[in-house]
Amino acid sequence: MLDRFSVVYPLMIHGMDANDSDETGERAAGAGDRVGGGTGGCTGTVDVDRTDTGYRDWLKEAVRKVQADANRSADTHLLRFPLPESWGIDLYLKDESTHPTGSLKHRLARSLFLYGLCNGWIRPGKPVIEASSGSTAVSEAYFAGLVGVPFVAVLPRTTAHEKQRLIEFHGGQCHLVDDPRTVYEVSARLAAETGGHYMDQFTYAERATDWRGNNNIAESMFQQLRRERYPDPAWIVATAGTGGTSATIARYVRYMQHDTRICVADPENSCFFDGWLTGDRSVSCDRGSRIEGIGRPRMEPSFVPGAIDRMMKVPDAASVAAVRALDTAIGRKAGGSTGTGLWSAFKIIAEMVAAGRTGSVVTLICDPGDRYLDKYYSDAWLAAQGLDIAPYAAAIDAFLADGSWPD
Ligand SMILES: Cc1ncc(COP(=O)(O)O)c(C=O)c1O
């Protein structure tokens, strides 16, 4: 009988060295592989077994820790933004700032860790590296700590100091770059140099997330709307960093056959709007986005344009005015990307008011404003950026009073 563990020797396959790995972290054949069979065997079967029971025990425990964390967590709230009763329109904010790591990226980081672990990409003792504008890295630093692997965030130097502090608080390291467009290549290089795993949220966000359900953000929203007077929102407004959140919501809505339409609000200095409009995925732009977490210098692979019904290009000053209006209305400070989505939601509601339509609209509180007190809540920062929010603040005041819109 053929003993499949009987022959053990280093292999060369496809001309790769034993320690070569491709960009997905796949391993080439090498030392440690148990190879059985070959020319001497009667069946001609070549059998390679890479079972590593020590690693599998580690993996099982790592997955358990991530799942247990989810099991201990509660769902995020769906808050109401007060609008005049006579409009017959309800505006909701899915408050993702209440996750343990303070942003909608907590969901993504959990999904990316489970995806990377179950794919065999995240290995004991090897660092996880990520390109981020901060929020994802804060959440990933938390999950890396939970699983017990080192974590390095590659961030633009302009990233809010509070987010850098939080990454380090959770045990991660920050690697700052001057040009935001280089975060991808620097991350890939660091992963290659350290034998670590480049998580690459911008590629994997849309596929690591379970878009059909599993209490993803869309399923949670629809569950929470069940007892509302308009349980099927006319519109859900999202923003795009990886594009993963909008892809998950849009796919879920289509899969569940809701009539809800999806709008993505894009800030200045971002490519998503142009790429969506023209169908050209190769668009790029020179400057980094001032609205942290959203707006990218390239069309990220995780952005799924075909699933998006509508997009708006929102001035950065409008995003800041909207996020300050949120604070006035419900007493909550949020990050700039929340304002980008809220401004678009206001515009959509103004159209509904003008058309005499009733219904509901949902957008997101993406992360908390206390990360950006020296940016979106600082008049000195606004002045330094040359941003005048006064006309947009006046437009919001007028809209909230009588439903009018300046366009
Ligand atoms: C604060 C904030 N808002 C919105 C987004 C957009 O989410 P997504 O990456 O799913 O497109 C991000 C992404 O990093 C973010 O950090």
Q: Is 260 in the pocket of ligand 1 (CB under 6 A)?
A: no
Which ligand 1 atom sits nearest the alpha carbon of residue 201? 9
How sure is the predictor about 68, in pLDDT bands with cuts at 50, 70 and 90? Answer: very high
Residue 6 pLDDT > 60: no
Among 340, 281, 284, 282, residue whose Cα is nearest residue 312: 340
Q: What is d(CA 236, CA 233) in angstroms, rounded to the nearest whole number? A: 7
Q: What is d(CA 329, CA 346) in angstroms, rounded to the nearest whole number? A: 13
pLDDT in tens, 362-376: 999 999 999 999 999
Q: Is 137 in the pocket of ligand 1 (CB under 6 A)?
A: no
pLDDT at 39: 52
Q: What is d(CA 395, CA 387) in angstroms, rounded to the nearest whole number? A: 16
Q: Is 302 in the pocket of ligand 1 (CB under 6 A)?
A: no
Higher pLDDT, 27 or 284: 284
pLDDT at 25: 46
What one-character DSSP code corresponds to residue 298?
A: B
pLDDT at 28: 63
Question: In sequence order, what are the beta bridge partners of 65?
Answer: none
Spell out the residues 6+ positions from residue 64 whose beta carbon is closer than 8 angstroms to its own: none
pLDDT at 34: 79
For ligand 1, atom 15, name the residue with the nearest CA: 293
Helix axes 316-330, 390-402, angle to 10 degrees: 50
Fold of 75-100+212-402: Rossmann fold (3.40.50)
* Residue ranges with strand state E in 66-118: 78-81, 89-95
Residue 37 pLDDT > 70: no
Produce one character per residue of 164-195: b if its CB has 16 or more CB atoms within 10 Å, e if not. Answer: bebbeebebebbebeebbebbebbbebbeeee
- CATH topology match: 75-100+212-402 vs 105-206: yes
Q: What is d(CA 220, CA 96) in angstroms, rounded to the nearest whole number? A: 11
Please state, as a whole number, how many other Cβ atoms lie within 10 Å of the Cβ of residue 23: 11
Average pLDDT of the chain? Answer: 92
Number of helical H runs and strand E runs in the chain: 13, 12
As a whole-number percent, the residues of the chain with pLDDT over 70 amount to 91
pLDDT at 3: 37
CA torsion sign, 282 to 283 to 287 to 291? negative
Q: What is d(CA 364, CA 16) in angstroms, rounded to the nearest whole number? A: 47
Residue 11 pLDDT > 70: no
User: Ligand 1: which of 136, 236, 337, 375 to mutate, judged by most atoms within 8 Å of the beta carbon?
Assistant: 337
User: Ligand 1: which of 101, 242, 314, 371 to mutate, judged by most atoms within 8 Å of the beta carbon?
Assistant: 242
Q: Where are the domains of the chain?
A: 75-100+212-402, 105-206
What one-character DSSP code corresponds to residue 297?
A: S
Average pLDDT over residues 272-300: 95
Q: Is 245 in the pocket of ligand 1 (CB under 6 A)?
A: yes
Among 186, 153, 193, 199, residue whose Cα is nearest residue 24: 199
Q: Is 136 in the pocket of ligand 1 (CB under 6 A)?
A: yes
Q: Which pTM value belongs to this model?
A: 0.91
Q: Is 201 in the pocket of ligand 1 (CB under 6 A)?
A: no
Question: Domain 105-206 is of which CATH architecture?
Answer: 3-Layer(aba) Sandwich (3.40)
pLDDT in tens, 313-332: 999 999 999 999 999 999 99
pLDDT at 9: 34
Q: What is d(CA 163, CA 372) in angstroms, rounded to the nearest whole number? A: 9
Residue 405 pLDDT > 90: yes
pLDDT at 407: 73
Residue 17 pLDDT > 60: no
Average pLDDT over residues 219-227: 98
User: Ligand 1: which of 96, 110, 135 to mutate, judged by most atoms within 8 Å of the beta carbon?
Assistant: 135
Ligand 1 center to 79 CA (angstroms): 19
Instruction: Name the least confident of 1-5, 157-161, 181-185.
Output: 1-5
User: Ligand 1: which of 95, 97, 103, 308 to mutate, judged by most atoms within 8 Å of the beta carbon?
Assistant: 103
Residue 20 pLDDT > 70: no
Q: Is 130 in the pocket of ligand 1 (CB under 6 A)?
A: no
Residue 187 pLDDT > 60: yes
Residue 268 pLDDT > 50: yes
Ligand 1 center to 304 CA (angstroms): 14
pLDDT at 7: 36
How sure is the predictor about 33, in pLDDT bands with cuts at 50, 70 and 90? Answer: confident
